[in-house]
């Protein structure tokens, strides 16, 4: 079967090539375009006339590629040819091509393609005009050339130079013209100029590639080409010099050489994979090959175990002794190998010293590896292993390097898979033998001459021969003589096409009787060179089935009657196109009785006028070569009452006659449903394209409106449109986006339309009555202050945007290619729903933003009031202090007052801060300590406080207990640490690293009493410190060396109720 397909493909390719060769040699210009006017083909003549190669314009729009065709008769007739399915011929003048003048042009439709044939009409008056313009065209070509062009006479004076050559020589055309060649060239180029002059005077051409460094220090390549110029008498008149930059070409050539080397290596490795009998040899050779081609220092293959957590480094190149072998090693979780397996894509490391994804393994570290790449071998779910290449220097591997290594890995994966398949094949062969020996059907193998090489035990039951008796026997000796020729023909097809065959024939049993059998046979090619093909045959007894088939043939006439009364409209068409037989279904389809049809009407009677030419061609060619015309096709069917219907026809020739059997199926409703489905798909695609900007948080309403407008115009093929948004309570509508084919400025205008202006009836229908509509006879001019000029609206479709039963905007489109219909209106309503969602979302976002601002103000007010309330408590304690005369009680009031002040200070910092959830702890501590010194120290300057705090901010849940802890410990140092000293020093240091905060509070006073356990003391202050440290899940330590030093370590506390998101 595959060989038949290949032959058919080759035949089609040969025919296409023949057609291409014919079109390439004709003198006419030939262009082929599709129904979208995209270029499919240009012949040589067309390329020459239009100065563009087929490769440059293939797949591009003909009017974009050749602007001179736009707005010409060719532009006008192109769409008409496909629409009316007719040939059109005309003359037209074209100036912008190699051969300007009048052209005879013929447009011919072919399916969904248009073939354009054109040739110069050679009108005498245009020939004269073309000659007058030839010099201008010549000069224009020279000036617009990408190459530097210079012409010199025999005295080496420059007679012609273009701007590109002047730019190469870093001069201007006027400065160069008339000068000798040696005056304008650098001294470095004089030797080349002499060589050019010498060869030109000998009538020879010269070509040379030259490299130099430009002013930026980059290396550039140029190609210099020179040729002598001869007059009509073949006398030397000067020389032509062309200079072209070829730096890009040289770089491409260099890359192609590297790529060719990699491709050669892949091809060689592929051959090895097919021919190499040892997988181990293939692996080793591949390691050396990758190392050599990529020019790396080390290569390796890590063969994974079944669990994927261990590997064998069995194959590699460049490694130190002891690393490559049968030793099983674990796959480290933070290694490049593990990362490659998890990511399932090639992994490239340009510099291991900067690698953050994984760590360098011992083997790579020992060999000083600095860069490398790795890919998986085999299936990504269950890979065989990992292929790696590494360098001991920093190297940037490019995509081609990765592709090469992946190609090698794919070849190795194939080799591994083939090894597994061969193992399975050997196992399956054992199973095959088991099945063959126990199968009911006889299984046998034969050589190409037909002799038995094996027969299953069931041969005894089928033929009466034991397997041993059949081996070596020529099968054709027990085949019925009348069946041998047919069997040999089928076997020939089997050998030529390598296809599975099934054939019925008669075999002679050992007793002499013949039985009917059915054999299924297939050719099997041996894998090893020198081994011949064999045939596998499965044979079963079908004598009973043959008897049944004979009985069925006798009743064939009965069943033929049933077939003729099938559910499709069937007719028989004669060679003269008349209908000789029709069934009742055709009568119903055509609307006439069988008597009115049979022998009365001909094939063209029910064919649409546009289909007659095609139907006639099909009818003629079906008799000559049926394979050249379609067996099934669709066409427009016209019944007796001239109603048009879409019909699917299947036509076949009756063997041995020129009659045609035609089956017709009415597919009118099916095509209608298909068109509706295609339209629904287009609308859904438009909605899907709008969905992306709609759900994006960063997309503006104008951008969403622009997307909705673009899809509306594209769906309806309209050229003018706008989308507006209604302003609340103002009775005006802002046009967010506007599009017009004639006035692009409209799209930049922020336009306001008053609904009371009575601009046009469509505003009343759409905005007041809240209903969409379309008018294909609108024919009105739209003007408005802010728009440039007037806008003529031919046809119009308008849809209001409704949200919660209220009008919020409007979509208006106009000037379509065809008339608007109801499905256009419904589609725009669905697009309008998406636009309404966008407006709704923007309104919701605005409300959320306003609510968020209100909450931020409220929270600031709360912090302010809490601070004021705590300040009142502090003031009350201060007032109460004046009525207490006991020193201990006074001290308790002062401590309580300081504790309240520490908490109030936090709320003060918060409501003064722009961040309502976090405070600058450094500023807070400085203010807190300043208050404590003022509160306790009686002699100014007696105690020196050193504060060393990093720029740390804490949330209120952490800052509050930390402030109280610092208050207690600093207060304790001030009160008890310096009783017997005239001066002292307190140090406060706070630092944060990786989320861990450390507070150090120390003094150089008398020290904390050693006989007191600060964690178990009656002191309220120390109890409070211990409790607060526990509250923040911290640890506290005490050191009494040279004074007292408390060390508190903790992590910042976070709560689900944290309000930090208010500032986001």
pLDDT digits (tens, 9 = 90+) for 23-56: 666 668 888 888 888 888 888 888 888 888 888 8
pLDDT band at 139 (very low <50, low <70, confident <90, very high): low
Q: Using the structure block, give the residue that is written with the tokens 């010409």.
A: 72
Look at 701 and 387; give whichever has higher pLDDT: 387
SS3 category, 1008: coil
Contact yes or no for 445/537 (Cβ under 8 A): yes
Contact yes or no for 748/739 (Cβ under 8 A): no
Residue 721 to residue 370: CA distance in whole angstroms:
60
Q: Please tell me the class of the 568-665 domain.
A: alpha beta
Query: 540-544, 667-671, 857-861, 897-901 — which is least confidently predicted?
Result: 857-861
Domain spans, the chain:
22-132, 145-245, 254-423, 439-552, 568-665, 674-849, 914-1061
Tens digits of residue pLDDT in 221-231? 888 888 888 87
Task: State both tokens at 448.
Answer: 């190409």
- Which CATH superfamily, name and number, covers 145-245? PAS domain (3.30.450.20)
pLDDT band at 507 (very low <50, low <70, confident <90, very high): very high
Residue 452 to residue 445: CA distance in whole angstroms:
6
Tens digits of residue pLDDT in 525-558? 765 544 557 888 889 888 888 877 776 676 656 6
**935-964 burial code (b ≥16 CB/10 A, e <16):** ebbeeeeebebeeebeebbbbbbbbbbbbb
Fold agreement between 22-132 and 145-245? yes
**Helix (H) and strand (E) counts in the chain:** 31, 41
**Structure letter (DSSP) for residue 180:** B
Query: 198-212, 273-287, 497-511, 848-862 — which is least confidently predicted?
Result: 848-862
Look at 219 and 946; give whichever has higher pLDDT: 946
At residue 1059, the pLDDT reads 40
Q: What is the DSSP string of 401-461?
A: HHHHHHHHHHHHHHHHHHHHHHHHHHHHHHHHHHHHHH-SSEEEEE-TT-BEEEE-TTHHH
The CATH code for residues 439-552 is 3.30.450.20
Residue 535 to residue 521: CA distance in whole angstroms:
7
Task: State both tokens at 78.
Answer: 């192109």
Look at 180 and 99; give whichever has higher pLDDT: 180
Share of the chain above pLDDT 70, in %: 80
Tens digits of residue pLDDT in 276-286? 678 888 888 88
**In terms of Cα–Cα distance, which of 988, 1017, 870, 840 is closest to 926?**
988
Contact yes or no for 376/341 (Cβ under 8 A): yes
Residue 405 to residue 266: CA distance in whole angstroms:
9
Q: Is the pLDDT of residue 8 over 50?
A: no
Q: What is the pTM of this model?
A: 0.35
Query: 9-13, 286-290, 566-570, 581-585 — which is least confidently predicted?
Result: 9-13
Q: What does pLDDT average to over the chain?
A: 79
Q: Using the structure block, give the residue that is written with the tokens 């005006």.
A: 732
SS3 category, 952: coil
Contact yes or no for 968/1024 (Cβ under 8 A): yes
Q: Is the pLDDT of residue 710 over 80?
A: yes
Tens digits of residue pLDDT in 773-811? 888 888 877 665 555 566 778 888 988 888 877 778 888
pLDDT band at 473 (very low <50, low <70, confident <90, very high): very high
What separation in angstroms does the CA of 706 have from each of 709, 735, 784, 820, 839? 5, 11, 21, 21, 13
The CATH code for residues 254-423 is 3.30.450.40
Q: Is the pLDDT of residue 489 over 80?
A: yes
- Which CATH superfamily, name and number, covers 22-132? PAS domain (3.30.450.20)
**Residues 6+ away with beta carbon under 8 Å from 1024:** 964, 968
At residue 749, the pLDDT reads 43
Q: What integer is the mean pLDDT of 408-435?
A: 76
At residue 348, the pLDDT reads 93
Q: Using the structure block, give the residue that is written with the tokens 């080409």.
A: 225
pLDDT band at 232 (very low <50, low <70, confident <90, very high): confident
- The CATH architecture annotation of domain 914-1061 reads 2-Layer Sandwich (3.30)
At residue 691, the pLDDT reads 78
Residue 19 to residue 27: CA distance in whole angstroms:
15
Residue 591 to residue 605: CA distance in whole angstroms:
13
Q: Is the pLDDT of residue 1005 over 60?
A: yes
CATH topology of domain 674-849: Beta-Lactamase (3.30.450)
Tens digits of residue pLDDT in 910-954? 556 666 668 777 787 887 787 777 777 666 677 888 888 888 888
């Amino acid at each position: 079967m595959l060989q038949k397909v290949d032959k058919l493909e080759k035949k089609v390719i040969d025919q296409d090539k023949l057609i291409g060769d014919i079109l390439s040699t004709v003198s006419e210009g030939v262009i082929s375009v599709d129904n979208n006017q995209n270029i499919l083909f240009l012949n040589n003549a067309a390329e020459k006339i239009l100065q563009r190669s087929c490769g440059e314009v293939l797949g591009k729009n003909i009017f974009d590629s050749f602007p001179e065709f736009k707005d010409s008769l060719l532009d006008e007739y192109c769409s008409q040819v496909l629409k009316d399915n007719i040939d059109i011929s005309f003359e037209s003048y074209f100036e912008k091509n190699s051969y300007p003048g009048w052209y005879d042009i013929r447009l011919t439709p072919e399916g969904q393609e248009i073939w354009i044939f054109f040739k110069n009409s050679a009108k005498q008056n245009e020939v004269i005009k073309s000659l007058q313009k030839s010099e201008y065209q010549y000069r224009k070509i020279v000036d617009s050339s990408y190459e530097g062009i210079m012409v010199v006479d025999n005295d080496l004076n420059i007679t012609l130079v273009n701007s590109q050559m002047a730019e190469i020589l870093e001069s201007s055309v006027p400065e160069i013209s008339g000068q000798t060649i040696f005056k304008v060239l650098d001294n470095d180029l004089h030797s080349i100029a002499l060589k050019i002059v010498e060869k030109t005077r000998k009538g020879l051409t010269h070509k040379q590639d030259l490299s130099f460094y430009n002013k930026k220090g980059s290396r550039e390549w140029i190609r210099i080409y020179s040729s002598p110029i001869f007059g009509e008498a073949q006398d030397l008149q000067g020389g032509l010099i062309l200079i072209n930059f070829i730096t890009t070409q040289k770089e491409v050539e260099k890359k192609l050489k590297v790529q060719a080397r990699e491709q050669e290596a892949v091809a060689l490795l592929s051959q090895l994979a097919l021919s190499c009998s040892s997988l181990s040899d293939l692996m080793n050779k591949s390691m050396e090959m990758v190392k050599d081609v990529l020019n790396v220092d080390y290569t390796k293959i890590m063969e994974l175990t079944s669990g994927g957590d261990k590997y064998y480094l069995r194959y590699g190149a460049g490694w130190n002794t002891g690393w490559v072998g049968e030793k099983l090693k674990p796959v480290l979780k933070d290694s490049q190998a593990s990362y490659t397996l998890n990511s399932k894509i090639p992994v490239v490391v340009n510099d291991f010293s900067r690698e953050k994804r994984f760590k360098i393994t011992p083997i790579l570290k020992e060999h000083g590896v600095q860069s490398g790449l790795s890919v998986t071998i085999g299936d990504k779910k269950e890979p065989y292993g990992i292929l790696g290449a590494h360098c001991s220097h920093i190297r940037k591997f490019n995509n081609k390097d990765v592709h090469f290594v992946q190609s090698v890995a794919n070849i190795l994966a194939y080799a591994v898979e083939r090894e597994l398949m061969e193992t399975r094949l050997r196992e399956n062969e054992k199973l095959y033998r088991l099945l063959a020996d126990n199968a009911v059907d006889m299984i046998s193998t034969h050589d190409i001459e037909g002799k038995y090489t094996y027969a299953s035990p069931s041969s005894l039951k089928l033929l009466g021969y034991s397997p041993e008796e059949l081996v070596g026997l020529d099968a054709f000796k027990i085949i019925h003589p009348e069946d041998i020729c047919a069997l040999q023909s089928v076997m020939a097809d089997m050998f030529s096409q390598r296809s599975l065959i099934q054939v019925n024939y008669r075999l002679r049993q050992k007793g002499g009787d013949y039985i009917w059998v059915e054999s299924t046979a297939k050719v099997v090619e041996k894998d090893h060179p020198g081994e011949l093909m064999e045939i596998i045959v499965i044979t079963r007894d079908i004598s009973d089935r043959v008897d049944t088939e004979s009985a069925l043939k006798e009743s064939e006439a009965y069943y033929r009657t049933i077939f003729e009364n099938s559910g499709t409209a069937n007719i028989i068409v004669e060679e003269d196109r008349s209908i000789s037989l029709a069934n009742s279904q055709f009568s119903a389809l055509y609307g006439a009785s069988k008597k009115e049809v049979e022998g009365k009407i001909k094939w063209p009677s029910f064919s649409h006028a546009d289909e007659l030419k095609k139907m006639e061609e099909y009818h003629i060619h079906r008799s000559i070569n049926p394979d050249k015309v379609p067996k099934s096709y669709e066409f427009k069917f016209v019944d007796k009452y001239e109603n048009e219907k879409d019909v699917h026809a299947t036509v076949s020739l009756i063997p041995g006659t020129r009659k045609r059997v035609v089956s017709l199926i009415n597919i009118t409703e099916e095509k209608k449903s298909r068109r509706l489905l295609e339209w629904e798909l287009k609308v859904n695609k438009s909605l899907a394209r709008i969905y992306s900007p709609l759900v994006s948080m960063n997309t503006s309403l104008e951008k969403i409106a622009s997307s909705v407008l673009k899809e509306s115009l594209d769906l309806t093929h309209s050229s003018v449109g706008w989308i507006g948004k209604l302003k609340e309570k103002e009775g005006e509508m802002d046009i967010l986006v506007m599009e017009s084919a004639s006035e692009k400025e409209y799209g930049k205008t922020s336009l306001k339309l008053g609904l009371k202006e009575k601009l046009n009836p469509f505003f009343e229908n759409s905005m007041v009555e809240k209903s969409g509509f379309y008018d294909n006879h609108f024919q009105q001019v739209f003007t408005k202050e802010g728009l440039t000029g007037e806008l003529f609206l031919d046809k119009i479709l308008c849809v209001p945007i409704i949200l919660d039963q209220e009008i919020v905007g409007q979509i208006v489109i106009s000037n379509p290619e065809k008339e608007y219909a109801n499905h256009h209106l419904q589609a725009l309503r669905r697009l309008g729903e998406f636009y309404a969602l966008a407006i709704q979302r923007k309104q919701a976002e605005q409300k959320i933003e306003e609510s968020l601002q209100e909450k931020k103000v409220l929270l600031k007010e709360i912090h302010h009031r809490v601070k004021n309330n705590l300040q009142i408590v502090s003031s009350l304690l201060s007032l109460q202090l004046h009525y207490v005369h006991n020193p201990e009680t006074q001290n308790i009031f002062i401590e309580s007052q300081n504790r309240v002040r520490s908490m109030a200070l936090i709320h003060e910092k918060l409501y003064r801060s722009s961040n309502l959830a976090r405070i600058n702890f450094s500023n807070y501590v400085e203010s807190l300590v300043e208050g404590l010194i003022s509160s306790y120290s009686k002699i100014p300057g007696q105690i020196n406080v050193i504060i060393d705090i990093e720029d740390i901010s804490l949330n209120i849940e952490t800052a509050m207990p930390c402030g109280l802890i610092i208050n207690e410990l600093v207060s304790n140092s001030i009160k008890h640490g310096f009783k017997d000293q005239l001066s002292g020093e307190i140090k406060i240091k706070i630092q944060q690293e990786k989320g861990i905060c450390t507070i150090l509070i120390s003094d150089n006073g008398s020290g904390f009493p050693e006989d007191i356990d600060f964690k178990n003391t009656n002191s309220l202050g120390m109890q409070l410190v211990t409790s607060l440290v526990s509250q923040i899940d911290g640890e506290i330590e005490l050191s009494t060396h040279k004074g007292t030093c408390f060390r508190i370590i903790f992590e910042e506390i976070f709560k689900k109720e944290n309000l930090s998101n208010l500032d986001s």
